[in-house]
Amino acid sequence: MTDLTRRRFLALTAASTVVAGCTDIAADTSPVVHAPGSSPATTTPRRTPKPATSPPPAPPPAKLQANELGQLPVLMHHRLVTSSAGAYDQTPDFFRQELERLYRENYHPVRAIDLARRDLTAVPAGKTPVVLTFDDSTPSQVAFDSAGRVESDCALGILRGFHARHPDFPAVATFYVNRNPFGLSGAAVPQALVRLTALGCEIGNHTWSHPNLHTLSRAEAEAEIGKLAAMVRGATPASPCGTLALPLGVHPRDSSVLARGGRGSTAYRNLAVLLVGANPSLSPYHRDFDPMAIPRIRCSSHRNGRGPLEFNYWLDQLATRPGLKYIAAGNPAHVTAPSSLRQSLAPGLADRAIWWN
Ligand SMILES: [Zn+2]
Protein backbone atom coordinates (compact mmCIF):
# COMPACT_ATOMS: atom_id res chain seq x y z
CA MET A 1 0.00 0.00 0.00
CA THR A 2 1.28 3.40 -0.87
CA ASP A 3 2.83 5.32 1.98
CA LEU A 4 0.80 8.47 2.15
CA THR A 5 3.47 10.22 4.13
CA ARG A 6 5.32 10.62 0.87
CA ARG A 7 2.48 12.64 -0.52
CA ARG A 8 2.20 16.30 -0.08
CA PHE A 9 -0.91 17.42 1.68
CA LEU A 10 -2.00 20.35 3.73
CA ALA A 11 -2.71 20.23 7.44
CA LEU A 12 -5.74 22.44 7.78
CA THR A 13 -6.58 23.83 11.16
CA ALA A 14 -10.29 23.30 11.00
CA ALA A 15 -12.38 20.27 10.19
CA SER A 16 -14.14 20.21 6.84
CA THR A 17 -17.54 21.80 6.88
CA VAL A 18 -19.98 21.17 4.09
CA VAL A 19 -22.62 23.77 3.56
CA ALA A 20 -25.68 23.01 1.52
CA GLY A 21 -26.65 25.36 -1.27
CA CYS A 22 -29.21 28.01 -0.43
CA THR A 23 -32.86 27.48 -1.29
CA ASP A 24 -34.43 30.17 -3.42
CA ILE A 25 -36.90 31.81 -1.02
CA ALA A 26 -37.07 35.18 -2.73
CA ALA A 27 -40.38 36.99 -2.22
CA ASP A 28 -42.90 36.82 -5.05
CA THR A 29 -42.90 40.34 -6.52
CA SER A 30 -44.51 39.51 -9.86
CA PRO A 31 -47.39 41.69 -11.03
CA VAL A 32 -50.89 40.32 -10.59
CA VAL A 33 -52.21 39.01 -13.89
CA HIS A 34 -55.91 39.17 -14.64
CA ALA A 35 -57.64 36.88 -17.04
CA PRO A 36 -59.71 38.72 -19.66
CA GLY A 37 -63.03 39.79 -18.15
CA SER A 38 -62.17 38.75 -14.62
CA SER A 39 -62.46 41.01 -11.61
CA PRO A 40 -59.24 42.21 -10.02
CA ALA A 41 -60.79 41.66 -6.59
CA THR A 42 -61.17 37.91 -7.16
CA THR A 43 -57.84 37.25 -8.85
CA THR A 44 -55.10 35.69 -6.78
CA PRO A 45 -51.43 36.44 -7.32
CA ARG A 46 -49.42 33.80 -9.14
CA ARG A 47 -46.05 32.46 -8.13
CA THR A 48 -43.25 33.77 -10.25
CA PRO A 49 -41.95 30.97 -12.46
CA LYS A 50 -38.46 30.05 -11.35
CA PRO A 51 -36.12 31.95 -13.66
CA ALA A 52 -33.76 29.86 -15.77
CA THR A 53 -30.71 31.58 -14.35
CA SER A 54 -27.53 30.32 -12.82
CA PRO A 55 -27.67 28.71 -9.35
CA PRO A 56 -26.95 30.80 -6.26
CA PRO A 57 -23.29 31.53 -5.66
CA ALA A 58 -21.32 28.89 -3.80
CA PRO A 59 -20.42 29.47 -0.14
CA PRO A 60 -16.98 31.00 0.46
CA PRO A 61 -14.06 28.59 -0.12
CA ALA A 62 -12.92 28.86 3.49
CA LYS A 63 -16.34 27.82 4.73
CA LEU A 64 -16.31 24.81 2.41
CA GLN A 65 -12.63 24.09 3.10
CA ALA A 66 -12.50 23.92 -0.72
CA ASN A 67 -9.50 22.03 -1.99
CA GLU A 68 -9.48 21.23 -5.69
CA LEU A 69 -5.88 20.08 -5.41
CA GLY A 70 -6.89 17.31 -3.00
CA GLN A 71 -7.22 13.60 -3.72
CA LEU A 72 -10.20 11.58 -4.92
CA PRO A 73 -11.07 7.88 -5.12
CA VAL A 74 -11.25 5.99 -8.40
CA LEU A 75 -12.99 2.75 -7.46
CA MET A 76 -12.39 -0.55 -9.24
CA HIS A 77 -15.19 -3.13 -9.40
CA HIS A 78 -15.41 -6.50 -11.07
CA ARG A 79 -18.19 -9.08 -10.76
CA LEU A 80 -21.25 -8.75 -8.55
CA VAL A 81 -22.08 -12.17 -7.13
CA THR A 82 -24.39 -13.14 -4.31
CA SER A 83 -21.76 -15.44 -2.83
CA SER A 84 -18.38 -13.79 -3.06
CA ALA A 85 -15.86 -16.30 -4.42
CA GLY A 86 -12.79 -14.33 -5.48
CA ALA A 87 -10.70 -11.46 -4.17
CA TYR A 88 -12.17 -9.16 -6.83
CA ASP A 89 -15.82 -10.14 -6.31
CA GLN A 90 -18.38 -8.20 -4.38
CA THR A 91 -21.95 -8.89 -3.37
CA PRO A 92 -24.85 -6.64 -4.43
CA ASP A 93 -25.33 -5.77 -0.76
CA PHE A 94 -21.71 -4.66 -0.45
CA PHE A 95 -22.16 -2.46 -3.51
CA ARG A 96 -25.31 -0.93 -2.03
CA GLN A 97 -23.47 -0.20 1.22
CA GLU A 98 -20.65 1.37 -0.78
CA LEU A 99 -23.09 3.72 -2.49
CA GLU A 100 -24.67 4.61 0.84
CA ARG A 101 -21.27 5.52 2.28
CA LEU A 102 -20.25 7.53 -0.77
CA TYR A 103 -23.48 9.49 -0.62
CA ARG A 104 -23.28 10.03 3.12
CA GLU A 105 -19.75 11.41 2.74
CA ASN A 106 -20.63 13.83 -0.06
CA TYR A 107 -19.13 12.08 -3.07
CA HIS A 108 -20.33 12.90 -6.58
CA PRO A 109 -19.80 10.36 -9.40
CA VAL A 110 -17.99 11.45 -12.55
CA ARG A 111 -16.48 9.36 -15.37
CA ALA A 112 -12.85 8.46 -15.96
CA ILE A 113 -12.88 10.52 -19.16
CA ASP A 114 -13.82 13.61 -17.10
CA LEU A 115 -10.73 13.05 -14.98
CA ALA A 116 -8.62 12.46 -18.10
CA ARG A 117 -9.86 15.72 -19.64
CA ARG A 118 -9.14 17.52 -16.38
CA ASP A 119 -12.75 18.61 -16.28
CA LEU A 120 -14.45 18.32 -12.91
CA THR A 121 -16.55 21.43 -13.42
CA ALA A 122 -19.82 19.54 -12.89
CA VAL A 123 -19.00 18.69 -9.28
CA PRO A 124 -21.14 20.86 -6.96
CA ALA A 125 -19.77 22.94 -4.11
CA GLY A 126 -18.77 20.88 -1.11
CA LYS A 127 -18.74 17.57 -3.02
CA THR A 128 -15.84 15.22 -3.80
CA PRO A 129 -15.63 13.56 -7.22
CA VAL A 130 -15.53 9.76 -7.30
CA VAL A 131 -15.10 7.55 -10.37
CA LEU A 132 -16.93 4.20 -10.37
CA THR A 133 -15.19 1.82 -12.78
CA PHE A 134 -16.19 -1.74 -13.75
CA ASP A 135 -13.80 -4.14 -15.46
CA ASP A 136 -14.41 -7.19 -17.68
CA SER A 137 -18.00 -6.34 -18.76
CA THR A 138 -19.71 -9.27 -17.05
CA PRO A 139 -23.53 -9.67 -17.19
CA SER A 140 -23.62 -8.91 -13.45
CA GLN A 141 -22.66 -5.33 -14.27
CA VAL A 142 -25.10 -4.51 -17.07
CA ALA A 143 -28.18 -6.51 -18.09
CA PHE A 144 -31.38 -5.62 -19.90
CA ASP A 145 -34.79 -7.29 -19.68
CA SER A 146 -36.82 -8.32 -22.72
CA ALA A 147 -38.28 -4.81 -22.94
CA GLY A 148 -34.80 -3.26 -23.01
CA ARG A 149 -34.93 -1.92 -19.46
CA VAL A 150 -31.90 -2.10 -17.19
CA GLU A 151 -32.31 -5.05 -14.81
CA SER A 152 -32.64 -3.78 -11.26
CA ASP A 153 -30.20 -6.27 -9.73
CA CYS A 154 -27.19 -5.66 -11.98
CA ALA A 155 -24.64 -3.06 -10.90
CA LEU A 156 -26.02 -0.41 -13.25
CA GLY A 157 -29.55 -1.20 -12.07
CA ILE A 158 -28.51 -0.83 -8.44
CA LEU A 159 -26.77 2.45 -9.24
CA ARG A 160 -29.81 3.74 -11.11
CA GLY A 161 -32.11 2.67 -8.29
CA PHE A 162 -29.91 4.57 -5.85
CA HIS A 163 -30.01 7.62 -8.10
CA ALA A 164 -33.82 7.46 -8.21
CA ARG A 165 -33.85 7.77 -4.41
CA HIS A 166 -31.02 10.33 -4.39
CA PRO A 167 -31.29 12.45 -7.55
CA ASP A 168 -28.22 14.51 -6.62
CA PHE A 169 -26.06 11.37 -6.93
CA PRO A 170 -25.62 10.83 -10.70
CA ALA A 171 -25.89 7.26 -12.03
CA VAL A 172 -22.74 7.50 -14.13
CA ALA A 173 -19.85 5.04 -14.31
CA THR A 174 -17.11 3.87 -16.64
CA PHE A 175 -17.38 0.32 -17.99
CA TYR A 176 -14.13 -1.21 -19.26
CA VAL A 177 -15.32 -3.72 -21.81
CA ASN A 178 -13.92 -6.64 -23.80
CA ARG A 179 -15.40 -8.45 -26.81
CA ASN A 180 -18.89 -9.80 -26.20
CA PRO A 181 -19.50 -7.22 -23.48
CA PHE A 182 -21.96 -8.20 -20.76
CA GLY A 183 -22.29 -11.66 -22.30
CA LEU A 184 -23.87 -10.23 -25.45
CA SER A 185 -23.20 -10.93 -29.11
CA GLY A 186 -24.38 -9.80 -32.54
CA ALA A 187 -26.73 -6.84 -32.76
CA ALA A 188 -27.23 -6.83 -28.99
CA VAL A 189 -23.68 -5.49 -28.53
CA PRO A 190 -24.07 -2.14 -30.30
CA GLN A 191 -27.56 -1.78 -28.82
CA ALA A 192 -26.17 -2.14 -25.30
CA LEU A 193 -23.28 0.25 -25.95
CA VAL A 194 -25.60 2.87 -27.44
CA ARG A 195 -27.90 2.50 -24.47
CA LEU A 196 -25.11 2.82 -21.94
CA THR A 197 -23.77 5.94 -23.60
CA ALA A 198 -27.27 7.45 -23.75
CA LEU A 199 -27.55 6.87 -19.99
CA GLY A 200 -24.46 9.02 -19.49
CA CYS A 201 -21.99 6.21 -18.86
CA GLU A 202 -18.57 5.87 -20.45
CA ILE A 203 -17.39 2.86 -22.44
CA GLY A 204 -13.69 2.31 -21.83
CA ASN A 205 -11.17 -0.01 -23.48
CA HIS A 206 -10.16 -3.21 -21.64
CA THR A 207 -8.75 -4.82 -24.83
CA TRP A 208 -10.38 -7.35 -27.14
CA SER A 209 -9.50 -10.58 -25.33
CA HIS A 210 -8.02 -9.49 -21.99
CA PRO A 211 -4.44 -10.69 -22.57
CA ASN A 212 -1.34 -10.13 -20.49
CA LEU A 213 -0.05 -7.24 -22.61
CA HIS A 214 3.51 -7.80 -21.45
CA THR A 215 3.63 -11.10 -23.33
CA LEU A 216 2.62 -9.53 -26.65
CA SER A 217 4.59 -7.83 -29.39
CA ARG A 218 3.82 -4.18 -30.03
CA ALA A 219 1.77 -5.11 -33.10
CA GLU A 220 -0.21 -7.68 -31.13
CA ALA A 221 -0.90 -5.26 -28.28
CA GLU A 222 -1.97 -2.61 -30.80
CA ALA A 223 -4.36 -5.09 -32.40
CA GLU A 224 -5.89 -5.96 -29.01
CA ILE A 225 -6.57 -2.32 -28.20
CA GLY A 226 -7.51 -1.27 -31.73
CA LYS A 227 -10.00 -4.06 -32.32
CA LEU A 228 -11.92 -3.21 -29.16
CA ALA A 229 -11.79 0.50 -29.99
CA ALA A 230 -13.23 -0.27 -33.43
CA MET A 231 -16.11 -2.23 -31.89
CA VAL A 232 -17.05 0.71 -29.65
CA ARG A 233 -16.61 3.36 -32.33
CA GLY A 234 -18.78 1.30 -34.69
CA ALA A 235 -21.60 1.40 -32.12
CA THR A 236 -21.14 4.91 -30.73
CA PRO A 237 -19.17 7.02 -33.25
CA ALA A 238 -19.63 10.18 -31.17
CA SER A 239 -18.25 8.49 -28.04
CA PRO A 240 -15.16 6.46 -28.94
CA CYS A 241 -13.09 4.90 -26.16
CA GLY A 242 -10.92 7.58 -24.58
CA THR A 243 -9.56 5.74 -21.56
CA LEU A 244 -8.11 2.25 -21.04
CA ALA A 245 -7.87 -0.03 -18.00
CA LEU A 246 -4.92 -2.41 -18.10
CA PRO A 247 -6.00 -6.08 -18.20
CA LEU A 248 -4.53 -7.78 -15.11
CA GLY A 249 -2.93 -4.45 -14.28
CA VAL A 250 0.04 -5.40 -16.47
CA HIS A 251 1.83 -2.91 -18.73
CA PRO A 252 2.99 -3.80 -22.23
CA ARG A 253 6.73 -3.77 -22.80
CA ASP A 254 6.36 -0.53 -24.77
CA SER A 255 3.83 1.61 -22.89
CA SER A 256 3.56 4.11 -25.74
CA VAL A 257 1.22 1.64 -27.45
CA LEU A 258 -1.42 2.51 -24.83
CA ALA A 259 -1.80 6.14 -25.82
CA ARG A 260 -2.35 5.76 -29.53
CA GLY A 261 -2.05 3.28 -32.36
CA GLY A 262 -3.90 1.37 -35.04
CA ARG A 263 -4.94 2.68 -38.40
CA GLY A 264 -8.18 3.23 -40.24
CA SER A 265 -11.08 1.66 -38.37
CA THR A 266 -8.80 0.39 -35.60
CA ALA A 267 -7.11 3.74 -34.91
CA TYR A 268 -7.35 4.73 -31.27
CA ARG A 269 -6.27 7.37 -28.81
CA ASN A 270 -6.43 7.03 -25.04
CA LEU A 271 -6.18 10.09 -22.81
CA ALA A 272 -5.81 8.02 -19.66
CA VAL A 273 -4.67 4.61 -18.46
CA LEU A 274 -6.12 3.15 -15.27
CA LEU A 275 -4.05 0.89 -13.05
CA VAL A 276 -4.98 -1.93 -10.67
CA GLY A 277 -4.37 -0.59 -7.17
CA ALA A 278 -4.14 0.89 -4.75
CA ASN A 279 -4.64 4.45 -3.45
CA PRO A 280 -6.62 7.61 -4.27
CA SER A 281 -5.81 9.66 -7.36
CA LEU A 282 -4.26 13.08 -7.31
CA SER A 283 -6.45 15.92 -8.48
CA PRO A 284 -6.23 16.39 -12.25
CA TYR A 285 -5.21 19.98 -11.49
CA HIS A 286 -2.20 18.83 -9.43
CA ARG A 287 1.18 19.20 -11.08
CA ASP A 288 2.06 15.55 -10.41
CA PHE A 289 -1.19 14.14 -11.85
CA ASP A 290 -0.31 11.58 -14.52
CA PRO A 291 -3.36 10.61 -16.61
CA MET A 292 -1.44 7.66 -18.05
CA ALA A 293 -1.14 6.07 -14.60
CA ILE A 294 -4.31 6.64 -12.58
CA PRO A 295 -4.45 4.44 -9.46
CA ARG A 296 -7.63 2.66 -8.47
CA ILE A 297 -8.95 1.38 -5.15
CA ARG A 298 -10.27 -2.16 -5.17
CA CYS A 299 -13.85 -2.74 -4.09
CA SER A 300 -14.40 -6.34 -3.04
CA SER A 301 -16.36 -8.09 -0.35
CA HIS A 302 -14.34 -11.29 -0.43
CA ARG A 303 -13.67 -12.32 3.15
CA ASN A 304 -10.10 -13.38 2.58
CA GLY A 305 -9.30 -10.64 0.14
CA ARG A 306 -8.34 -7.13 1.11
CA GLY A 307 -11.11 -5.39 -0.80
CA PRO A 308 -13.23 -4.15 2.10
CA LEU A 309 -10.05 -3.05 3.83
CA GLU A 310 -8.88 -1.10 0.77
CA PHE A 311 -12.20 0.63 0.17
CA ASN A 312 -12.93 1.41 3.80
CA TYR A 313 -9.31 2.22 4.64
CA TRP A 314 -9.02 4.85 1.95
CA LEU A 315 -12.42 6.37 2.55
CA ASP A 316 -11.50 6.59 6.23
CA GLN A 317 -8.25 8.32 5.28
CA LEU A 318 -10.01 10.79 3.01
CA ALA A 319 -12.59 11.49 5.72
CA THR A 320 -10.17 12.03 8.57
CA ARG A 321 -6.82 13.34 7.29
CA PRO A 322 -7.07 17.13 7.17
CA GLY A 323 -6.51 18.60 3.74
CA LEU A 324 -6.22 15.26 1.93
CA LYS A 325 -9.62 15.15 0.23
CA TYR A 326 -10.67 17.00 -2.92
CA ILE A 327 -13.54 19.32 -2.03
CA ALA A 328 -15.14 21.26 -4.87
CA ALA A 329 -15.64 25.00 -4.55
CA GLY A 330 -18.58 25.12 -6.95
CA ASN A 331 -16.88 27.72 -9.11
CA PRO A 332 -16.47 25.87 -12.40
CA ALA A 333 -14.34 28.42 -14.20
CA HIS A 334 -11.65 28.26 -11.53
CA VAL A 335 -9.43 25.95 -9.52
CA THR A 336 -9.80 26.77 -5.84
CA ALA A 337 -7.45 25.61 -3.09
CA PRO A 338 -5.70 26.78 0.09
CA SER A 339 -2.89 29.19 -0.70
CA SER A 340 -0.32 26.89 0.88
CA LEU A 341 -0.79 24.55 -2.10
CA ARG A 342 0.28 27.12 -4.70
CA GLN A 343 3.34 25.07 -5.60
CA SER A 344 1.18 22.04 -6.39
CA LEU A 345 -0.83 23.63 -9.19
CA ALA A 346 -0.29 22.14 -12.65
CA PRO A 347 1.36 24.42 -15.23
CA GLY A 348 -0.98 26.57 -17.30
CA LEU A 349 -3.68 26.92 -14.64
CA ALA A 350 -2.40 30.01 -12.79
CA ASP A 351 -4.94 32.27 -14.49
CA ARG A 352 -7.80 30.09 -13.20
CA ALA A 353 -6.56 29.70 -9.65
CA ILE A 354 -8.34 31.11 -6.61
CA TRP A 355 -6.35 30.86 -3.37
CA TRP A 356 -7.84 31.23 0.06
CA ASN A 357 -6.41 31.43 3.57
ZN1 LIG B 1 -9.92 -7.27 -16.34
Q: Is residue 101 part of a domain?
A: yes
In the prediction, which pLDDT does 85 show?
A: 75
The alpha carbon of 17 and the centre of ligand 1 are apart by a number of angstroms equal to 38
Burial of 134 (0-12, 13-18, 19+ CB in 10 A): buried
Q: Which residues surround ligand 1, an ion (CB under 5 A)?
A: 135-136, 247
DSSP per-residue string spanning 148-182: SPBPTTSHHHHHHHHHHH-TTS----EEEE-SSGG
In the prediction, which pLDDT does 54 show?
A: 66
- 275: domain CATH number is 3.20.20.370
In the prediction, which pLDDT does 309 show?
A: 81
Q: Is residue 40 part of a domain?
A: no
In the prediction, which pLDDT does 53 show?
A: 66
Q: Is residue 327 part of a domain?
A: yes
**In which domain, by residue range, is 343 found?**
70-356
In the prediction, which pLDDT does 16 show?
A: 28
Give me the torsion for CA of 281, 284, 286, 292, rounded to 10°.
70
Q: Is residue 2 part of a domain?
A: no
The alpha carbon of 135 and the centre of ligand 1 are apart by a number of angstroms equal to 5
What does the alpha-carbon distance between residue 228 and residue 209 come to, in Å, rounded to a whole number?
A: 9
Regarding pTM above 0.75, the answer is: yes
The alpha carbon of 134 and the centre of ligand 1 are apart by a number of angstroms equal to 9
Q: Is residue 272 part of a domain?
A: yes
Element (H, E) at 107: strand 107-110
The alpha carbon of 319 and the centre of ligand 1 are apart by a number of angstroms equal to 29
The alpha carbon of 119 and the centre of ligand 1 are apart by a number of angstroms equal to 26
Q: Is residue 60 part of a domain?
A: no
What residues in the chain have per-residue pLDDT under 70? 1-55, 84, 304-305
Q: Is residue 341 part of a domain?
A: yes
The alpha carbon of 140 and the centre of ligand 1 are apart by a number of angstroms equal to 14
In the prediction, which pLDDT does 185 show?
A: 97
Number of domains in the chain: 1
Q: Is residue 144 part of a domain?
A: yes
